Structure 1
Amino acid sequence: MSEQELIALFPLRSVLFPGGRLPLQVFEQRYLDLISQSLRSDTGFGICLLSQGGETASPGTTQQVHRTGTYAKIVDWDQLPNGLLGVTVEGHKKFRVQECWPRENRLLMASVEWAPTDYLGETPIALGEEHEHLAELLKDLMAHPLVEGLGMESDLTDKRQLAWRLAELLPVPASDKQRLLELDDTDERIREIETLLAAVMRYGGS
């Protein structure tokens, strides 16, 4: 999984992990075209956290993204009550941006290298008793109606999937979630999650 590939990017102020789902409202023409092409060809695009600029195009501004993101594919779409196109995407595998540039329509394109870890289908890592409390916490988080409505599936006996879901769902800043995404070691990610969780419990988050 080390070869490079050219993909389109969908910059957001959110961080997506493999197996996670994210609802999007689409109205800019560059993204309507991207969604249409993705549906026709059954391909995906990269979700990256913005480091500069807004989610929508504004005159005189540019979008810059963090260099680690997640390749996502569309799993559902519909017209929303407000008339906009709504799509739900699911994360598949992590990548690192090598080069990034805008097309004439301002759609960001990137040459990416697939990460050696953090992709759907990896061999599960057995969850030890010392982390069962995290599995119970994740059960509670995934029972929230907004999360439950996304239809995500997660193996709570797999430490890797547990870390992915907790990293997405904990009430911490996107910068912390991005830092967790950039880690390649599941045990290190779990340790960082427990540190963040302790801060949330002590100070109520930030």
Structure 2
Amino acid sequence: MALPQLLSSTSSNFTLKSSLNPISSQPPSSLHSVRRIGRRKLRNIRCSASSLPEKHHNNNMNSPKTNDDVLELPLFPLPLVLFPGAILPLQIFEFRYRIMMHTLLHTDLRFGVIYTDSLSGTADVGCVGEIVKHERLVDDRFFLICKGQERFRISQIVRTKPYLVAAVSWLEDKPSGDGAPEDLDDLATEVEGYMRDVIRLSNRLNGKPEKEIGDLRRNLFPTPFSFFVGSTFEGAPREQQALLELEDTAARLRREKETLRNTLNYLSAASAVKDVFPSS
């Protein structure tokens, strides 16, 4: 679902998307990212090892950490944020990533998606993408359907050629330490309510017929639901990255509630203007 430009709690514009496969981007050119499978034109995505922050590089590139909580993971730096549970279609055609694909298809089918842009550089925290479906095309390109799994934090870069490999450690939410124990289910219900209102007003502004909005939470526990909500904030990847990095489900839900509340206020004002000036 495409909404007009909306206000968020971080002064970023974003689009709330209510589909189950909500990841999208505005990429440059090296991998192709596909929002929907079908006839839509593929968009190019550039992955560059040089965009990684210098702090991750290590002179001894062959000695990554090897304890139980750290492992090596091939990386895709992309101008988008993958959340646990979200779906990411990709088309691979650059030579180094075709090499990576041949390796992955004979191992565990998992790689790391890490957000990068020209202003903020490459993030420390990303999400594992697991290949759940793939098709090898005639010219050795690959079409993939990936699903977000665990979050990780980069410990160090192991090597940069022929593709990036990093030593990473897993990232999990911790119990809230702000001294304000909050019922996560109640908080998730509030967030779902704001989502419903945003979708309803967005449909009205876009001239879509009124219809019942289905179950947005889909019986998800609060933590995976918070990831689903974050994945719908299409068009604000920095805000999405901030949500991905939070290690507190309550804090993530509260931030999403604030963003949705600001968006709802904006849409309510836009709807009032449309009622007064219907031809504008």
4+ long deviations beyond 4 Å: 79-84, 134-140
Partner of 1:186: 249
Matches within 5 A, 1:125-164: 127-128=185-186, 129-133=189-193, 136=196, 155-164=218-227
Conserved? CA contact 1:135–1:156, under 8 Å: no
Conserved? CA contact 2:98–2:141, under 8 Å: no
SS where residue 40 of structure 1 aligns? coil
Tell which deviates more after alignment, 154-163 or 30-39. 154-163
TM-score of the superposition, structure 1-length normalised?
0.71
SS where residue 191 of structure 1 aligns? helix
- For the pair 1:47 / 2:113, whether they are aligned, the reply is yes
Assess, with a 3 A threshold, how the Cα gap between structure 1 residues 42 and 164 changes in structure 2: closer, same or farther: same
Conserved? CA contact 2:110–2:130, under 8 Å: yes
Larger Rg belongs to: 2
SS where residue 6 of structure 1 aligns? strand
Assess, with a 3 A threshold, how the Cα gap between structure 1 residues 130 and 111 changes in structure 2: closer, same or farther: same
Find 1:116's aligned residue among 172, 175, 200. Answer: 172
Q: 5+ unaligned residues in a row in structure 1: which ranges?
A: 54-63, 119-124, 141-153
CA deviation after TM superposition for structure 1 residue 52, in Å: 3.9
- For the pair 1:167 / 2:224, whether they are aligned, the reply is no
Give the whole-Å Cα distance in 1 for the aligned partners of 2:142 and 2:227: 27
Partner of 2:263: 200
Q: Which amino acid aligns with 1:185?
A: D
Task: Report sequence identity in percent.
Answer: 26
Give the whole-Å Cα distance in 2 for the aligned partners of 1:69 and 1:138: 28
Give the whole-Å Cα distance in 1 for the aligned partners of 2:157 and 2:102: 22
Assess, with a 3 A threshold, how the Cα gap between structure 1 residues 45 and 78 changes in structure 2: closer, same or farther: same
What is the CA deviation profile of residues 85-127 of structure 1, one whole-angstrom value per residue up to 9, with x for unaligned ones? 221111110111111254332x111111111339xxxxxx962
- For the pair 1:5 / 2:58, whether they are aligned, the reply is no
Partner of 2:212: none
- Of Structure 1 and Structure 2, the greater strand share is in 1
Find 1:76's aligned residue among 130, 133, 137. Answer: 133
Partner of 1:148: none
Q: Which amino acid aligns with 2:262?
A: A
Q: Which amino acid aligns with 2:103?
A: Q
